[in-house]
Amino acid sequence: MKNFSYLSMVLAASAGCVWTAQADVLGAKASYGKNEIRLYANPLAYEVVRDGKTMVAKTLIGLKLDGACQKDAALVSTKTSALAGCVKTPVYKKAAVCLGGNETVADFGDFAVRLVARNDGVAYRFELKKAATVNCENAGLTIPSATARCWMNRTNAFGCEETMPEFANAGDLKTDAKKHIYLPFAYTVEGQMVAVTESNVHNYPIWNFKAVEKTADGVRLGSVFETYPKKTQRVGGWGNDYCAKGGRWVKITDHEDYLVKAAAGATLPWRAFVLADSPAKLCEADLSYALATPAAKDADFSWVKPGKVAWDWWNAFDNLGDPQGCTTKTYERFIDFAAKNGVEYVIFDEGWSAKLNIWEYSPVVDVPHLIKYAEEKGVGIILWMAWAQVYGEEEKVASHFAKLGAKGFKVDFMDRGDAEIAVFLEKFAAACAKHKMLVDYHGVYRPVGLHRTYPNVLNYEGIHGLEQMKWGKVDKDMTYNDVACTFLRMTAGPMDYTPGAMLNYKIGAYKGNGQFPGSVGTRCHQMALMALYEAPLQMLSDSPTHYEKNMECFSFMAKVPVVWDATVGLGGCPECFAAIARKAKDGAWYAAAITNKDARDYTLDTAFLGEGEWKAEIFRDAPACDETPEKYVRETKVVKAGDKLALRMASGGGFIVRFSK
């Protein structure tokens, strides 16, 4: 635990600036389609409007630079221009992203505020002209109605974002002295959806909300950021101190009283607001991706190969137990299984190196032999490591293991939200890109656009994923978690949720099992996550032994694509169910849905399909699922676009359909 007061740190970061006056001078705005973002001056404030409705009420913003508040800076000039174009996406939920919109730059002398409006949302950011110490940023949010329904996650540690989603009306939100709200944060106003997120975080802390205040304009959430680290300490494993050459964390023991020292020309992150007519349409938004810095024009990422991964840790090394199952023989078993079934990768999770030291192999895991063994069978090896083992040696790590033949890294336990960790994430992504290595950032905050700059960064955790079920509790409502994450966390980008459990339990019947873990909800709920969730490096979390006993389900899951040409939101809401259709590169369509603890009948409208007849391969909950969640029905039908399929989802259930010509 950190040895400083959370509250005192927050107060130190914001001391000296008081934003209390009401902004009344409209300085600039950006409008596009239904959406508009307005900037007020004297003092600075912003407002978001969609189709004439206020989605974010007027909220004061500002910076404290070199000890001076910038809230009352005089507006020098404004310039509005059109945004245009379309970019192909090497690794994404769509084949291409439209960049159309309008932007306005409001110049305040030493800094500027840039506004952007697009069909899928709006955003603003501060841009600095001179080098400066950013002491604090005021980036609050005012929800215009106390009756607005809100969905959120809270955490007591910056950057550790693996909690269950919560929901409440805005008027019922309260300040939690020990926790803050992390993004994305979503709410609804008169049927319209807002999802608050951010993009293009470079050398800057992530954006969070803390204090809740009832105002005449609505319910205001105050912003909070982690200040820059002054002192850090390497911390080892669970009760073990392996810090000399590795460790698990680099934890902050003392903070500076500022957020970051920014260079001249620095751009702060985008404060982004995804806007949609319904919850279902949030999954179609590209706002975060479009706002992010594109990859360098001369960069070649054609070598990036997304795919499925056979994973060892969740299933305790093919159910042999942890750590005794972590051996060369077990990994040969995983590699053989992957090669036989067309699974592109195998992850070596914790245990392949000795005592959290990546420069020393476990005496019972022959890593060089296994990498060569896998390569001969067409399987790539991805190596897990805690970030403390990489920190400060990013180039050395990427170069060494690339020469060894590994295909990438799963980096874990960052669990921080300050500017230094943002620099590390980008620095290691760049080093890995140089050596053609993939990256899966586990133990990290939500995506903030880095995967556009470096398409070799495929996954991010920042989610209460299936790994939590190894120590699951009877009262844990994972089916609600799974539904809510579709609308909440996935709005930010790809998720390292790690689905695919074959041991499926009724709600309230599962207590957690480290060696033979399972999931809450039905088999088809797990299968649906393969297409419902974005994950260019999608893990198949269960053991080869369990998959071999369930090959009909496994073979289907293994063939579900991990990148897409199109994404269409079909229906749902964060507290009930989620349904999405996606178009594969080969022209096939997948439709998938999951429900919460409530069983429900769902009519799948196939209007998204093209002309002609399609073969629908359906996996749906069996009538016996109420008592035996592993039961399912597989059937095929011939359909045409616009046909409607009646599908029943059991409690905690789901379905997945593949449509092929």
Which positions are catalytic?
A: 412, 467
- Return the H-helix or E-strand segment holding 552: helix 551-559
- Return the H-helix or E-strand segment holding 555: helix 551-559
Q: How would DSSP label each residue in 563-580?
A: S-SEEEEEEEETTTEEEE
Report helix, strand or coil for 317: helix
Q: What are phi and psi of 38, to 5 degrees?
A: -115, 145
Spatial contact of 477 and 446, defined as CB atoms under 8 Å apart: no
User: Which among 136, 129, 135 has a CA at the least distance from the CA of 263?
Assistant: 129
DSSP state of 475: T
Tell me if the bond preceding 629 is cis, omega within 30° of 0: no
Spatial contact of 166 and 152, defined as CB atoms under 8 Å apart: yes
Query: Beta strands 68-69 and 53-65: pairing type?
Result: antiparallel
Give the residues across from 345 on adjacent strands. Answer: 309, 380
Residue keyed to tokens 């579900």: 560
Q: How would DSSP label each residue in 397-456?
A: HHHHHHHHT--EEEEE-----SHHHHHHHHHHHHHHHHTT-EEEE-SSPPP-SHHHH-TT
Angle at alpha carbon of residue 620, lines to 314 and 575, rounded to 5°: 70
DSSP state of 305: -
Angle at alpha carbon of residue 116, lines to 114 and 122, rounded to 5°: 125
8's CB contacts (< 8 A; 6+ apart) are: none
Cα dist from 399 to 403, 423, 432, whole Å: 6, 19, 8
Report helix, strand or coil for 212: strand
Spatial contact of 447 and 460, defined as CB atoms under 8 Å apart: yes
What whole-number distance in Å separates Cα of residue 661 and Cα of residue 650? 29
Spatial contact of 399 and 435, defined as CB atoms under 8 Å apart: yes
- Return the H-helix or E-strand segment holding 150: strand 149-155
Burial 318-356, CB ≥16 within 10 A → b, else e = bbbebeebbbbebbbbbbbbbbebebbbbbbbbbbbbeb
User: Which among 411, 454, 450, 405 has a CA at the least distance from the CA of 431?
Assistant: 454
Spatial contact of 226 and 418, defined as CB atoms under 8 Å apart: yes
Give the residues across from 539 on adjacent strands. Answer: 309
Burial 232-258, CB ≥16 within 10 A → b, else e = bebbbbeeeebbeebbbbbbbeebbeb
